[in-house]
Structure 1
Amino acid sequence: MTTSLQMDVGNTYAKWRVRHAGEIIARGGYAHGDNAGREAMLHSVTGVDHIWLASVAGAELEHELAGLLRQQWRVEPWFARTPAVFAGLTNSYAEPERMGVDRWLAMLGARARCGGRICVVDAGSALTIDLVAADGRHEGGYIIPGPALMERALLLDTDRVRFDDDVAYALPPGTSTAAAVRHGIAVAQVGAVTVALRQAGNPAPRLFFCGGAGKTLMALLGQDADHAPDLVFEGLELMAASVAASGAQI
């Protein structure tokens, strides 16, 4: 029975989970620069057999993280990279490696759950929307600023848009600056998914949501969908297990 550390490393935040004998025994996350959060991960388990990473961070951060993981567990980390084709999923990019590996793995994870046409919405720092045909062909996607980036842009570039209120995201028109901003962002996010689905046409794809804001966005959209927060991890595990079994390099 093996133990694996799996990581989803973004530009500002890293999520991780530990799987042992098919069960998740620990999980967490930390912002880059949060040494206490990173130490909690490093001491979450005494030993691991595999370390698998999905990373869209820069080379310097990847190198530093790989060194820490190697030092802690004496295991060589494996970084997933985006290929042209894998397990029936076909990349639409002319340069496949330029697609974020988190998007690729989320599609891989969703496709393993559903054999038909799918749409994967990953609501994190960025909102990504990806369509996959029933035959596994990536039909294309969208990359949109997420809620925090939208709000930051307003605060940085306007003098009078300021507020301290903690207002939830909702769709009705706002009656304060805080509500107008947060509700406007919600309308923009929901509107983006709605237009993307309309553009997708028929047959309607099965909809999957992941990412930190995935559950909120799914509720705002009010459409039948699956909330699958671990899609990136699920795709990572599928890809890493296949590589380990075959000894191939992707």
Structure 2
Amino acid sequence: MSDWLFDLGNSRFKFAPLRSDGRAGDVQAWAHGVQAMSADIAAALPSGGTAWVASVAAPALTADVIAHLRERFTHVRIARTLAECAGVRVAYAQPEKFGVDRFLALLGARALGSVLVAGVGTALTVDLMDADGLHRGGRISASPTTMREALHQRAAQLPASGGDYAEFANDTADALASGCDGAAVALIERSLQQASLDLAPVRLLLHGGGAPALLPLLPGAEHHPSLVLDGLAVWAAHHPTAAD
């Protein structure tokens, strides 16, 4: 029976088969509700031998997803952040406080040398890892999407979405898109600039649902949409008998 990889984020649910070469296969991504999975999504879940799961979603939604997976898989294994795994060493003094999605993204990038990994989802996370696998630390901010939603909540006349990036926009929707995307780009560029003072060269890797919008604004950035799932595959290879 086949094994599958599942990444449950704050706004999207991604999954892929675990290939025989130890990497994630074709990725499917669905939006989800904050507290529960829709019946249509639950009915379309795959089945197989072992489900490897990483989640940063709300506890109620995580429990709901795991319950559905237990009905479809012989085993359900939950990935957790560790101080050290597969050559990656986490900078946090309390590794359990380092988000498992950030941890797995570093595992997925371990073979790529010195990297700055930017995850663009509900949050914008930026993490630096050197060629020896030492995590040098990182940053967390709101993503452009979350910035737009927060502004709309405080000022309903400001649209929560829409608009195109421009260096100096002449329309409110464009100005919002430019400001929020630009803020994310500036944080990433600042992080890359500082990283390059100590480590050279540093590869910039982007992943997450909001990454495609930022790629044209970050020359040289590499898009790795399955980075967290690739890292989950690495975690699975190093923990084949992990507890359910």
With normalisation by structure 1, the TM-score equals 0.86
* Percent identity (aligned): 34
The one-letter amino acid paired with 1:77 is V
Give the Å deviation of 1:34: 5.0
- Cα distance change of structure 1 residues 196 and 37 upon mapping to structure 2, 3 Å threshold: farther
Alignment of 1:160-199 (within 5 A): 161-163=157-159, 166-168=162-164, 170-199=165-194
Correspondence 1:24-103 to 2 at 5 A? 24=25, 27-32=28-33, 33=36, 35-42=38-45, 45=46, 47-73=47-73, 75-103=74-102
Which is further off, 59-68 or 101-110? Answer: 59-68
SS of the equivalent of 2:239 reads helix
CA contact (8 A) 1:28 1:41 kept: no
Q: For residues 164 and 95 of structure 1, what CA distance do their matches in structure 2 show?
A: 36
Q: Distance in 2 between matches of 1:218 and 1:10?
A: 21
Contact 2:37 2:64 in 1 (8 A): no
Segments of 5+ residues of structure 1 without an aligned counterpart are: none
For 1:76, give the aligned amino acid.
Answer: H
CA deviation after TM superposition for structure 1 residue 134, in Å: 1.6
- What amino acid is aligned across from residue 176 of structure 2 in structure 1? V
User: 1:41, CA displacement in angstroms?
Assistant: 3.3
Computed over aligned residues only, the root mean square deviation of the Cα atoms, in angstroms, reads 2.2
**1:191-236: CA deviation from partner (whole Å, max 9, x where unpaired):** 1111111222242311111111212212112x21221100000000
Correspondence for 1:154:
151
Q: What is the aligned partner in structure 1 of residue 130 from structure 2?
A: 133
Q: 2:216 aligns with which of 215, 219, 223?
A: 219
- The answer for the alignment partner of 1:241 in structure 2 is 237
Q: Give the match's secondary structure for 1:82.
A: coil
**5+ residue gaps in structure 2?**
none
In 2, the alpha carbon distance for the partners of 1:26 and 1:139 equals 29
CA distance in 2, matches of 1:36, 1:20: 27
Output the TM-score relative to the length of structure 2: 0.88
**Which amino acid in 2 is paired with 1:213?**
G
Paired amino acid for 2:82 = P
- The 5-angstrom pairing of residues 104-119 of structure 1 reads 104-112=103-111, 114=112, 116-119=113-116
Query: Could you tell me whether the CA contact under 8 Å between 1:3 and 1:21 is conserved in 2?
Result: no
Higher relative CO (CA 8 A, sep ≥ 6), structure 1 or 2? 2
Give 3-state SS (helix, strand or coil) of 2:75's partner: coil
Q: Which amino acid aligns with 2:175?
A: A
Give CA-to-partner distance per residue, 1:84-110, whole Å, 9 cap, x none: 001111011111011110000011101
Runs of 4+ in structure 1 off by over 6 angstroms are none
SS of 1:204's equivalent in the other structure is coil
